[in-house]
Amino acid sequence: MKDFRDYSLLCHNTFGIDAQCQRFVEFASVKELQTLVRSLTTADQPLLVIGGGSNLLFTADYPGTVLHSAIRGVEIVDSDLTNHYIRCGSGETWDDIVAQCVSNGWYGAENLSLIPGEVGASAVQNIGAYGVEVKDLIVQVEAVEIATGRQVSFTNVECCYSYRKSRFKDDWKGQFIITYVTYCLSKTFHPRLDYGNIRAALAEHGISEPSATELRNTIIAIRQAKLPDPKIEGNAGSFFMNPIVSTQKYLDLIHTYPTIPHYTVDTEHEKIPAGWLIDQCGWKGHTLGKAGVHDKQALVLVNKGGATGADIVHLCDTIRQDVLQKFGIEIKPEVNIL
């Protein structure tokens, strides 16, 4: 177990904000985590559990203890006629898991390629992209209860997953630290190609029926083409969630904006791309002080160099107000602002 005091979080957030925490602890096993939580005192509060820091925006130093999982390991724990069940340590890098699944013929995660972050965070955030959410794959989430140090496990249903949400973000927030996640991967490849520009990107290479590797490589290429490298420009990927509006609201909008993109959620709701809304407000490629909107993807806010967390929040709030005023739609940050 690694334990540091007055620790810089610069390397633990992809926005490149040099915030500090009072204490930073990294645990490498369930036993270490149990020992840790049972030893915590009021002086260690508040607690913050982080993964790769790709969904965080620090606006100040963190006044408590930051915990990070270094629990590794990937193993098949069960198989049946159609699926493999893969148990992964919460400290594993998510995209490494996707790469391993594709390589081994464990299918279903291809569309989630190159999403930053770690396994534990995938189960908290319900990460998703290109028509797939990780809730479609999660079978079981194992955790340690902070108050007692006891091991617990939850089924997919118990986690109450929805769009970018789970009980770990709501009523269970601050109660558990995830240690392992078990995913169900298919033995048969069933490509999901109808979201976004996947088919068009494949067609550019003369591919109509891709292999899992070809689909993964295409997803990676699409993401790399529109998302900035956080090592060059600090960012957290998609900063805003795509708003879900009523079907009536969508029908009202198409009278004024007949080409507005949308994805049907159910008979009563449509999802509108937040990036399109922001772009229509004229923000793509523009800056506000040292913070800006990426010139290839309006959903991404970037640190243009030397921006503070407050600078990013100011840009976020200004964009939200513009979208609300123009479309009557409230967009909400996907990023955890601290």
Instruction: Please state the φ and ψ torsions of residue 293, each to the nearest 5 degrees.
Output: -105, 130
Catalytic residue among 110, 142, 233, 334: 334
> In one letter, which amino acid is 110?
E
238 a catalytic residue: yes
Contact status, residue 67 vs residue 36, Cβ threshold 8 Å: yes
| Cβ burial, residue 322 (10 Å; 0-12/13-18/19+) | middle
Q: What is the DSSP string of 129-149?
A: ETTEEGGGTEEEEEEEETTT-
Cα separations in angstroms, 224 against 198, 217, 230, 264? 14, 10, 11, 26
From the centroid of its chain, how far is CA 313? 19
User: In angstroms, rounded to a whole number, what is the distance separating the alpha carbons of residues 202 and 219?
Assistant: 9
Cα distances from 283 to residues 56, 135, 167, 275, in angstroms, run 22, 32, 33, 10
Host H or E run for residue 253: helix 247-256
From the candidates 23, 87, 238, 270, which is the catalytic residue? 238
- Catalytic, 150? Answer no
The CA distance from 101 to 91, in Å, is 17
Q: Biggest alpha carbon distance in the chain?
A: 61
β-bridge partners, 75: 87
Reading the block at residue 304, the tokens are 């243009």
Q: Is the dihedral of CA 103, 106, 111, 112 positive or negative?
A: negative
Catalytic residue chosen out of the listed positions 23, 87, 164, 216: 164
Half-sphere CA count of 186, side-chain side, radius 13 A: 10
Catalytic residues: 164, 238, 334
